[in-house]
Amino acid sequence: MGMYDVIVVGAGPAGLGAAIEAKKCGASVLLLDENDRPGGQLFKQIHKFFGSKEHYAGTRGYIIGQNLLNEADELGVEFRLGVRVWGLYPGGGVTATDGETSVRYFARKIVLATGATENALSFPGCTLPGVMTAGAAQTMTNVQHVLPGERFVMVGSGNVGLIVTYQLLQAGAKVCCILEAAQKISGYGVHAAKVRRAGVPILTGHTILRANGTDGVESVVTAKVDERFRPIEGTEETIECDTVTLAVGLSPRIELAGVSGCKMAYSPALGGMLPLHSDDMETTCGNILIAGDLSGIEEASTALDEGRMAGCRAAYALGYRTSKEYEETKRALLNRLNALRAGPFGEKRRAAKEALWNTMR
């Protein structure tokens, strides 16, 4: 048991950002994560990030993660790793378990940075060994250094699908093709160009119908789809492969926010159901703030700055910052977030975020 000013659930970029910022303001901070190692998905990101200098452009994801960890450590953020938060209770109770014991902590403010889950797809054969999410393949390849197969078919051409395809190639795998149900590629052109140059065809207007095999995947059947995503008969093709990776989007991991009574909103551009929140990351529950993918699927850099915003807001609400200091930080962070939400991809997310903020007002 223990009492803290701020408890942060989830030690990915958003959670680390929140913990660092709240601690900098002088709040006592406890950071909880279910993994044995903090950093969230950053440690799987072996590629260099884009953007501006203050968003670590040109730096590889796992190095950004390491720098954030060092910063949190030097500031004296308390960590509890390998524990899962299973409940939030009135009075700021946060209950977490390592599987053997269950411990309750208390906080005046709780920042939820629980991230996202990968979306699934169902088709005959989808439970065969060899069918997995792109994130699982990425963890195995980049973190555990085990290539889960030899011949892959990637489903989905968003940035996750494109980046993981490239990383599988780098690890020595063959990626037969990327299937994309929409009529155009959904990730960044620069990533798509890279995998195409490496010889991987991206088949738009195509879906997976089924996976065949007895003890594991031996082949998949694909088909063209019409504009309403219905498979077109007679267009079926069989592709031999041993692994199918699904990169069909992410959904905010809302369970903890949901059981706490945070009001939910539906925002397709941000990944679906998520807790309604303001531009300073407050939810409809006064003691609960959110950040990162939980507040809408974006990128590590936006997650980090949203986390900083949440941490700063929590510290300000507890009296660790004057309103003048807080307003300055908030303005600076909003400017950075706006810069990240520019361009044809970012613009949609920015508009979706603003719609949520306006509903909160």
Partner 1 sequence: MEHDAVNAEIVCRCEEVTADEIMEAIRNGADSLDAVKKATRAGMGFCQGRTCKRLIARMLACYYEMPVDRFLPGSLRLPVTPVKLSLLAETEDAADEIQEGSACEK
When the beta carbons of 99 and 199 are compared against partner 1, the nearer one is 99
SS3 state of residue 214: coil
Q: Exactly one of 2, 51, 82, 93 binds partner 1 (CB under 8 A); which one? A: 93
Smallest distance from partner 1 to CB 1, Å: 9
- Three-state SS string over 236-296 comes to CEEEECCEEEECCCEEECCHHHHHHCCCEEEEHHHCEEEECCCCCCECCCCCEEECHHHHC
Stretch that binds partner 1, among 71-79, 92-100, 176-184, 348-356 (CB under 8 A): 92-100
Q: Examine residue 7 and tell whether it contacts partner 1 (CB under 8 A).
A: no
When the beta carbons of 120 and 342 are compared against partner 1, the nearer one is 120
Interface of this chain with partner 1, residues 124 to 153, rule: CB under 8 A: 124-127
When the beta carbons of 51 and 87 are compared against partner 1, the nearer one is 87
Place of tokens 């884009």: 50
Closest CA relative to residue 217, chosen from 119, 146, 125: 125
When the beta carbons of 278 and 287 are compared against partner 1, the nearer one is 287
Positive or negative, the CA dihedral 19, 23, 29, 35 is positive
Smallest distance from partner 1 to CB 7, Å: 12
Contact 300, 286 (CB under 8 A): no
SS3 state of residue 51: coil
Residue 16 burial (C-beta neighbours within 10 Å; 0-12, 13-18, 19+): buried
Q: Exactly one of 54, 73, 74, 86 binds partner 1 (CB under 8 A); which one? A: 86
When the beta carbons of 57 and 120 are compared against partner 1, the nearer one is 120
Place of tokens 């219905």: 230
Q: Exactly one of 259, 342, 351, 355 binds partner 1 (CB under 8 A); which one? A: 259
84 strand-pairing partners: 97
When the beta carbons of 139 and 212 are compared against partner 1, the nearer one is 212
When the beta carbons of 64 and 107 are compared against partner 1, the nearer one is 107
Interface of this chain with partner 1, residues 104 to 123, rule: CB under 8 A: 104, 110, 117, 119-123
Query: Which residues touch 298 (CB under 8 Å, ≥6 apart)?
Result: 270, 340, 341, 349
Under DSSP, the state recorded for 40 is G
Q: Examine residue 188 and tell whether it contacts partner 1 (CB under 8 A).
A: no
Interface of this chain with partner 1, residues 18 to 57, rule: CB under 8 A: 34
Residues that bind partner 1 (CB under 8 A): 34, 84-90, 92-93, 95, 97, 99, 101-102, 104, 110, 117, 119-127, 212, 251, 253-256, 258-262, 264, 266, 272-273, 284-288
